[in-house]
Structure 1
Amino acid sequence: MWKQQRDKKYRFFEQYKDPLTNKQKTVSVTMNDDKKKTAKQAQIILNNKINKIISRVKRTTLI
């Protein structure tokens, strides 16, 4: 996970490998501050986004 500052907000990024195309893709979430607690929350949100995308791909390949 990495972050970038935009104005007074922080954008957290995470990469994952798309199982359908085998390419690296990126998801992001924007948070208000750059504290350890906020970074942990961002990591949880990003992991949920990635899991949701991967499960959607797995469902479509099964059909």
Structure 2
Amino acid sequence: MNDADRRAWCTQHGINTEIITDQNGQPQLVVDEEGMRRIADLAPNPHQAHALIDQWLAEADAQE
């Protein structure tokens, strides 16, 4: 699946995306927290997916 496919899937599910340029000059498709939560709702195990997002966000906060 390429970025265009991912963006189309996200759009189909009402998930906003953005393209940013990373520190290496490469474009990256990003999703905000609300979008990650919507993706988690679609996961086979939404409870586990939300817990993983909580962990990622806590780790990101700790790095700031």
Structure 1-normalised TM-score?
0.36
Bigger RCO (CA 8 Å, 6+ sep) = 1
User: Which structure dedicates a bigger proportion of its chain to helix?
Assistant: 2
Structure 2-normalised TM-score?
0.35
Larger Rg computed on CA atoms: 1
User: Which structure dedicates a bigger proportion of its chain to strand?
Assistant: 1
